[in-house]
Amino acid sequence: MAWTTPKTWTNTGVSRGELNTHLRDNLLALKYPPCAVYAIQESSDYSTTSTSFADINATEGKFQHTITTTGDGNGGNGDVLVTLNATLYSATSIRIYLRILMDGAVQNADDGFFVSEDSGMRPASFQVLIRNVTPGSHIFKLQWKVSSSTGFLQANAGTSGRDIKGQFWVREAS
Amino acid sequence: MAWTAPKTWTNEPLVATDMNTHIRDNLLALKEPPTGHYEADEGSNRTTTSTSFVNVDASGPDIDGIFRQTLVTNGGDIQIHFHGNVHGSAAGDMVFLNVSMDGAVLALNDGFIGIICATGTNAPPGNPIGFTRLITGVSAGSHIFRLMWKVDTGTTGTMYTGAGTSNGDFHPQFWVREVS
Amino acid sequence: MTWTTPLTWTDILSDASHFNQQIRDNLLALKAPPTALYESNEVSNYSISTSTYADIDTDFNLSITTTGGDVVIDFTGSIAASAAAGGLVDVSVDSTRIVNNTSGGLLFISNGGPRVYSFSHLIQGLSAGSHTFKLQWKSLAGATLTMYAGAGTANYDVHPRFWVREMT
């Protein structure tokens, strides 16, 4: 539901159109904010050997989500929550890095948002709050790289002992 | 406070009951959505040797409001979150987490998230693990959410639950909240 | 925007000030709740090797003025420990740590890494008013903890984030 900046009321008659726009529609906009969810389930786990940041999967609805945000409700910019709940894996001790792009712009510079240096299976769960997002359509993507060898992101692909179904979602928080 | 689908207004007098239902009550419903929240501070840590998903509550009190949360929702999306510390009985042991809603697991096979316990740190205090999950389109009504776990064969998994373990006195949190 | 407890309406004519306070301002308060966030981009990484809880850095001390309700405290970062003893991370809320004892915390930092550490901690029913949230840590048995802070360290130039937000 579209958000409309709540009007400043004056001592004049209240019309049904105004109540529908400023009350009904705005309540619905708060109740059901823009949101996109990817339940990570594929026929094979994601893997990379790239030592420079690359898209995990830029297919819309997978590790790329487009939502149309409405800002802070009063003509200003707003917030978006980007959440990952996933499990990473590597057979040997390597570094796996993650970062987020919004509209092609890197949100976490340099080596990204986090680095996990380990071997075996380890969780990668976080919520990133992105602030100052202008009202409008925005594309959010998750990218990764490794230090060497091969890194995996489990995709509920039937891999024995690692058949894990993660989630990647983006939601307007204000 | 119960949420009521906002009415479509017509050319009618404004009456108090409408204003209370559609303004007061709906604002309160948005301000204070249904939420269940538990932060563990127990007398002993939880353990399991199960290689298939079981309720975390299976190893302790099975009481609503702990690792089982019942929410009466208005219809919409639910956010489920857990963070805590676990360990296995030896290096390389694996621990997996999942959640069931109304008796059905939300992720088949190996669940939401897993960890291989780090070499050399499988004695207390363990390995941090957590998730934040969004469940969309949950029907209005009462729903039961339960944190579940399993381990790999031969492992005894431990979840620290604020039991006073030296340098391992962690208080995991499990919360469920209607977010739309 | 300030939140006002929604009015119980009666069958009298309402005026503009009521509509503005109850509808306009309350909708705006829900739309943009109190929030504070810090993402590190420092010249040096954070480290500690002492065994008493201390603020990681004043930049991780965040204050918000709430309207009464629930608050989420969220952290994600990459931290390494130099020895098996590791370390602990906690948050103090108005000078009281969430896990208010000496032998625990919200997270244990294990030997090696860096690994990703993250939590979203929900505090329910926090009173209305100004509240200060401080990310804190300590070492165990002399281990050195290092949180990478966007300081340009080769292969570890990552940016941790700490944020707090009123959820209701």
Residue B121 clears pLDDT 50, i.e. is over it = no
The most confident of A134-143, B25-34, B74-83, by mean pLDDT: A134-143
Say which DSSP state B23 is in: I
Q: List the beta bridge partners of residue C89.
A: C107, C137
Residue C4 clears pLDDT 60, i.e. is over it = yes
The most confident of A93-97, A109-113, B52-56, C23-27, by mean pLDDT: B52-56
Q: Within 13 Å of residue B27, how many CA atoms lie on the same side as its CB?
A: 23
* Average pLDDT of the residues in C55-79: 93
* Average pLDDT of the residues in A82-97: 91
What was the pLDDT predicted at B62?
Answer: 75
Say which DSSP state A31 is in: H
C106 to chain B: which residues are within 8 Å by CB?
83, 170-171
pLDDT digits (tens, 9 = 90+) for A21-36: 888 888 888 888 899 9
Rounded to whole angstroms, the Cα distance separating A162 from B4 reads 43
pLDDT digits (tens, 9 = 90+) for B126-137: 678 888 888 988
B94 to chain A: which residues are within 8 Å by CB?
121, 161
State residue A47 phi and psi, 5-degree precision. Answer: -145, 155
Q: Do B180 and A158 touch (CB under 8 A)?
A: no
pLDDT-based confidence at residue C12 (cuts at 50, 70, 90): low
What was the pLDDT predicted at C14?
Answer: 67
What would the DSSP string read from start to end of chain C? ----PPP---SS---HHHHIIIIIIHHHHHHS--EEEEE---SS-EEE--SS-EES-GGGEEEEEE-SEEEEEEEEEEEEESSTT-EEEEEEETTEESS-STT--SEEE-SEEEEEEEEEEEEEEEPSEEEEEEEEEEESTTPPEEE--SS--TT-----EEEEEE--
Residue B105 clears pLDDT 70, i.e. is over it = yes
pLDDT-based confidence at residue B120 (cuts at 50, 70, 90): very low
Q: Do C69 and B128 touch (CB under 8 A)?
A: no
Q: Do B108 and A31 touch (CB under 8 A)?
A: no
pLDDT-based confidence at residue B78 (cuts at 50, 70, 90): very high
Say which DSSP state A71 is in: T
Higher pLDDT, B119 or B66: B66
Q: Dihedral sign, CA of B179, C4, C8, C14?
A: negative
Residue C102 clears pLDDT 80, i.e. is over it = no
Higher pLDDT, A3 or C56: C56
**Percentage, residues of chain B above pLDDT 70:** 95
Chain A residues in contact with chain C using a Cβ-Cβ cutoff of 8 Å: 3, 6-11, 14, 22-23, 26-27, 30, 72-74, 76, 78-79, 95, 97, 108-118, 122-129, 131, 147, 173-174
Residue B123 clears pLDDT 60, i.e. is over it = no
C111 to chain B: which residues are within 8 Å by CB?
118, 120-121
What was the pLDDT predicted at B142?
Answer: 96
Q: Using alpha carbons, select from B39, B156, B53 the residue that is nearest to residue C120.
A: B39
**Percentage, residues of chain B above pLDDT 90:** 36
Q: Do C118 and B85 touch (CB under 8 A)?
A: no
Rounded to whole angstroms, the Cα distance separating C89 from B130 reads 15
A125 to chain B: which residues are within 8 Å by CB?
113, 130-132
3-class state of residue A116 by DSSP: strand
B61 to chain A, closest Cα gap in Å:
27
- Contact with chain B for residue C128, Cβ under 8 A: no
Rounded to whole angstroms, the Cα distance separating B74 from C11 reads 28
Q: Do C77 and A125 touch (CB under 8 A)?
A: no
What was the pLDDT predicted at B122?
Answer: 46
> ipTM score of the complex?
0.79
Q: Using alpha carbons, select from A129, B36, A37 the residue that is nearest to residue C74.
A: A129
* Average pLDDT of the residues in C74-97: 91
Of C1, C76, C159, the CB nearest to A109: C159
Cβ-based contacts under 8 A for chains A and B: 106
Residue B119 clears pLDDT 60, i.e. is over it = no
Structure-token pair, residue C19: 């509509």
